Amino acid sequence: MTDFARLLGALVEGHVEFIVIGGFAATAHGSAHVTVDLDVVYGRSAENIARLVGALSPLQPYLRGAPPGLPFRLDGDTLRRGLNFTLVTSAGDLDLLGEAAGGGTYEALLPRSEVRSVLGFQVRFVDLETLIHLKRAAGRPKDLERIAELEAIAEEARKT
């Protein structure tokens, strides 16, 4: 089971520039769904990639679903050559996204994010309007129910 506090703690204490999106962000905005992984968009600067590698290395990241024994190492070269990585770590599943569907890079999402205190850490989350935008951009049938809930959250929040 994913240890969200451990994952977030590694990233925050490693001073990684990241923004939480996906189901965990939906939870922070009021979703009643349960989510089993952490999705983050990370900054692609050389400095941030180095911080990301340093923060995640102790959690032994490995490609999720890849056969055991595959020569995979999450290092600076790997991150620079790739963009989005679905990982399993000793603290649970982590999706590292250089760009979310809909053009959601770290720089694009930064002005559309807000810092919230969660599990003892100051964590940056994408705002609700942008989360809906990203889900719509992804265009996955499985997201339709989630989008409906997020839009209902926005409607209910406007009433309060």
Q: Which residues bind another protein (CB under 8 A)?
A: 1-2, 4, 24, 27-36, 102-105, 107-108, 112, 116-119, 125, 129-130, 132-133, 136-137, 144-145, 147-149, 151-153, 156-157, 160
Residue 31: name the closest of 156, 160, 158 by CA: 156
Q: Which is nearer to another protein, 50 or 118 (CB)?
A: 118
In angstroms, what is the minimal distance from the CB of 82 to another protein?
A: 21
Q: Which is nearer to another protein, 23 or 53 (CB)?
A: 23
CA 24 to chain CA centroid, nearest Å: 8
In angstroms, what is the minimal distance from the CB of 74 to another protein?
A: 25
In angstroms, what is the minimal distance from the CB of 30 to another protein?
A: 4
Question: Which three-class secondary structure state does DSSP give residue 124?
Answer: strand
In angstroms, what is the minimal distance from the CB of 68 to another protein?
A: 22
Q: Which is nearer to another protein, 64 or 136 (CB)?
A: 136
Looking at the DSSP bridge assignments, the partners of residue 109 are none
In angstroms, what is the minimal distance from the CB of 123 to another protein?
A: 9
DSSP state, 87?
Answer: E
Specify the amino acid at residue 10.
A
Residue 116: name the closest of 30, 3, 6, 2 by CA: 30
Q: Which residues contact 51 (CB under 8 A, 6 or more apart)?
A: 14, 15, 16, 17
Q: Which is nearer to another protein, 27 or 86 (CB)?
A: 27
60 dihedral zone (left: phi>0; alpha: psi -120 to 50; beta): left
Q: Which is nearer to another protein, 75 or 107 (CB)?
A: 107
